[in-house]
Amino acid sequence: MPRIIFKCRYLKNASEFISMAVEQNLDLLGKRKNYVGYIANRPGAKAIGTHGLFTDAGVPVVLSQVAEKVANHIGNVWTNVISLRREDAPRLGYDSAKAWRDLIRGQRNHIAEQMKITPENLRWYAAYHDEGHHPHVHLIAYSADPGEAYVTKEAIQNMRGSLAREIFEQDLLQIYSQQTERRNILTKQSQDTMKEIIRQISAGVCENKTIEDLISHLAERLKHTSGKKQYGYLKAPLKAVIDQIVDELARDERVAKCYAKWHELRDEIIRTYADRLPPPLPLSRQKEFKSIKNMVIAEALNIGGRHFTFEPDETAEASVEEKLQYRLGQMLYTGTGTEKDVPAAVEYFEKAAKLGNQYAQYALGKLYLMGHDVPRDRETAMQWLTASAAQGNICAQFFLDRVDSFLDPSILLAATRLMHHLGNIFRDEHKRIGGSGAQVDRKLRKKLAQKKSAQGHAYDDHAPQQSY
C-alpha cells in the first residue's frame, strides 16, 4: 500500500544534531559542519550542479557557507527525512532531485507555518538520496530568528499529509472516487429511510405527559423572568428545563430513528478527515438542532400568554381560492402585514371552511372551543372540528378525543407543534448533509484539507468532546 514516511527530529542546536548523526553511524564526522557535506555528497546523493544540496529558488547554495551557517546556528534545528518505497518513486515521478526540489519549494510556506516560523525567516537545505529500497530526502530546517520555531506532533502530521496529498494526488483521486461510490450507495439508503421518518414526524401527533408538564412549568417560570426570552440569555435553571424538553422529544421513537439516521450521514463526512468518530451527543447538545430550543421557548410564551396558535397546514391539497381565504384570515387574526381584525378574520375562515378547507375548519373549531377573541361556543366548535377531522386532520381529531380535558388545548398540542418544528429541522439537515451536492461547513472543509492523507495515515486530533 503506497505511503510516505516523514520523520522529524527536534534538536536543541546543531551540535546535538551532529552528535545524533554520529550515533546513528551516518558518518564519522569530525566537525559539525561536516553533516551538511555528508548529505550533499554521500554515495547515492543526486547532484544539482557540483553537489546535491538545494534550497529556495534564486538562492545560491555554496556548500562551505551553508555548512558554516548550520554549524554556528544557536537556535533550534530540525532534521527531516521524507521517504518513499522504491516501487512508488518512479511510478509517481519522484525519482529525481529536481522533482523533490520542486515539491519542497512549493511546500516551503506550509512547512514554515507548521514549524511556527515566519516564512521569510525559514532557512532550509535538502538533498535527494537515491537509496536502493527507500529513495529519500534529507531536509534541514531552522529559523534565522533563534527565538522562533516550535514543532508539535500535529504539525508533523500536517506536513506529512500535505506532502502526501501532492505526491499521491492521482492515487488519492482514485481512492476518493471509490469511497464516494460506496458512500453514495449507503447514503441513498439512509436518505430514503430518513425522508420517510421525517414525513411521519411532520404528519403525526405527539402526546407526551412529561412534555406537557414541563412546558406548563416553563410557561409559568417565563412569566416571572425579565430580559430577553431567548435560550442564550436565560439562566441555567431555565436552560436545564428547556434541554429536558428537547431530550424528552428525542425519546420519541420517530425522532430517535431520524436522529440516528442523521448521525449516519454526518459520520460519513467526519470519516473523510478523522479515523475515530465522536460519541453521539444528546439532541439538546447538538448545535445543528439548537434552534429547537428557542421554539420551545416560543411555545411556552404562547401558552403563558394564552395566545392562539396555528398548527402546521402544508400537507393537504387545497384550491387556490380556499387557500387565499384561509391565509387572509390568518393575517387578519395575527395582525401580520395589516391591522388585527378578529371579526374579519373569522369571516374569511368561514369562507375557506365552507369551501372545504380543513385547516380553516380546524381553526374555527379551536377558536370557539377555547373562546379566544370570540364567544365560547362548544356546539359550533364540535361542528367545525368534526368536519375537519372527517378530512383527515389529525389535530382536529386530537381535540375531539380530548374535548373534555381540563388542560389548555395549546398545552395538549405543544409537543405536536415541537415535533413538527423538529421535522422541519431534520428536513433542512437532510438536504444539507444528505442531498446531492452536499455542502460541508467551513470548519469541516478546513479539517478535510488538513487531515486527509494517503491510505488512512491521517493524524486524528478529533476531540471527543467537540460538538458537531
Tell me what pLDDT residue 195 has.
63
CA-CA distance, 439 to 413, in Å (whole number)?
A: 35
Residue 200 has pLDDT above 90, yes or no: no
Least confident range from 85-99, 185-199, 335-349: namely: 185-199
CA-CA distance, 123 to 112, in Å (whole number)?
A: 9
* DSSP 8-state secondary structure symbol assigned to residue 24: T
Give the count of alpha carbons within 13 A of 453, CB side only.
Answer: 22
Residue 284, Ramachandran bin (φ over 0: left; ψ between -120 and 50: alpha; else beta): alpha
The Cα angle at residue 337 between residues 335 and 343, in degrees rounded to 5: 35
CB 107 within 8 A of CB 163: yes
Tell me what pLDDT residue 254 has.
81
The cell for 130 is: 537515491
CB atoms within 10 A of CB 26: 15
Residue 154 has pLDDT above 60, yes or no: yes
Choose between 238 and 215: higher pLDDT: 238
Cα 116 to chain centroid, rounded? 27
Residue 455: pLDDT band with limits 50, 70, 90:
very low
Helices 253-270 + 169-203 axis angle, to 10: 170
What are the C-alpha distances in Å from 440 to residues 161, 269, 455? Answer: 20, 8, 22
Tell me what pLDDT residue 413 has.
63
Residues 230-258, mean pLDDT to the nearest whole number: 89
CA-CA distance, 48 to 39, in Å (whole number)?
A: 13
CA-CA distance, 250 to 419, in Å (whole number)?
A: 9
Residues 154-180, mean pLDDT to the nearest whole number: 74
List of residues 6+ apart from 40 with CB closer than 8 A:
51, 52, 53, 63, 127
CB 143 within 8 A of CB 149: yes
Tell me what pLDDT residue 451 has.
47
* Segment 300-313, tens digit of pLDDT: 887 665 556 666 55
CA-CA distance, 127 to 129, in Å (whole number)?
A: 7
* Segment 249-299, tens digit of pLDDT: 888 888 888 888 888 777 776 665 556 788 888 989 988 888 888 888 887
Tell me what pLDDT residue 376 has.
86
The cell for 283 is: 439532541
Residues 443-453, mean pLDDT to the nearest whole number: 47
The cell for 176 is: 476518493
Burial class (CB in 10 A: 0-12, 13-18, 19+), 70: buried
Choose between 278 and 435: higher pLDDT: 278
Residue 241: pLDDT band with limits 50, 70, 90:
very high
Tell me what pLDDT residue 20 has.
40
Choose between 420 and 211: higher pLDDT: 211
Of 80, 83, 90, the residue nearest 136 (C-alpha)? 83
CA-CA distance, 422 to 428, in Å (whole number)?
A: 10
Tell me what pLDDT residue 257 has.
84
Residue 166: pLDDT band with limits 50, 70, 90:
confident
CA-CA distance, 233 to 213, in Å (whole number)?
A: 23
CB atoms within 10 A of CB 408: 16
Choose between 303 and 108: higher pLDDT: 108
Tell me what pLDDT residue 26 has.
36
Choose between 432 and 56: higher pLDDT: 56
* Segment 12-48, tens digit of pLDDT: 444 443 334 333 333 333 344 555 665 656 655 566 6
Strands lying side by side in the sheet with 122-129:
5-11, 77-83, 136-143, 122-129, 53-54
Residue 89 has pLDDT above 90, yes or no: no
* Segment 135-144, tens digit of pLDDT: 888 888 999 9
- SS (HEC) of 302-319: HHHCCCCCCCCCCCCCCC
Choose between 461 and 177: higher pLDDT: 177
Tell me what pLDDT residue 47 has.
60
Helices 342-354 + 320-334 axis angle, to 10: 160
Tell me what pLDDT residue 168 has.
76
Residue 248: pLDDT band with limits 50, 70, 90:
confident
* Segment 389-401, tens digit of pLDDT: 898 887 788 778 7
CB 242 within 8 A of CB 295: no
CA-CA distance, 98 to 126, in Å (whole number)?
A: 11
Give the count of alpha carbons within 13 A of 313, CB side only.
Answer: 18
What are the C-alpha distances in Å from 262 to residues 46, 123, 449? Answer: 54, 48, 23
Tell me what pLDDT residue 411 has.
66
Tell me what pLDDT residue 459 has.
36
Choose between 53 and 1: higher pLDDT: 53
Specify the DSSP element, H or E, that contains 140.
strand 136-143
Residue 466 has pLDDT above 70, yes or no: no
Residues 323-345, mean pLDDT to the nearest whole number: 90
Tell me what pLDDT residue 118 has.
94
Tell me what pLDDT residue 457 has.
34
User: What integer best gives the mean pLDDT of the chain?
Assistant: 75
Tell me what pLDDT residue 320 has.
85
Give the phi and the psi of residue 104 in degrees, each rounded to 5. -70, -35
CA-CA distance, 127 to 42, in Å (whole number)?
A: 10
CB 304 within 8 A of CB 223: yes
Tell me what pLDDT residue 348 has.
93
Tell me what pLDDT residue 95 has.
87
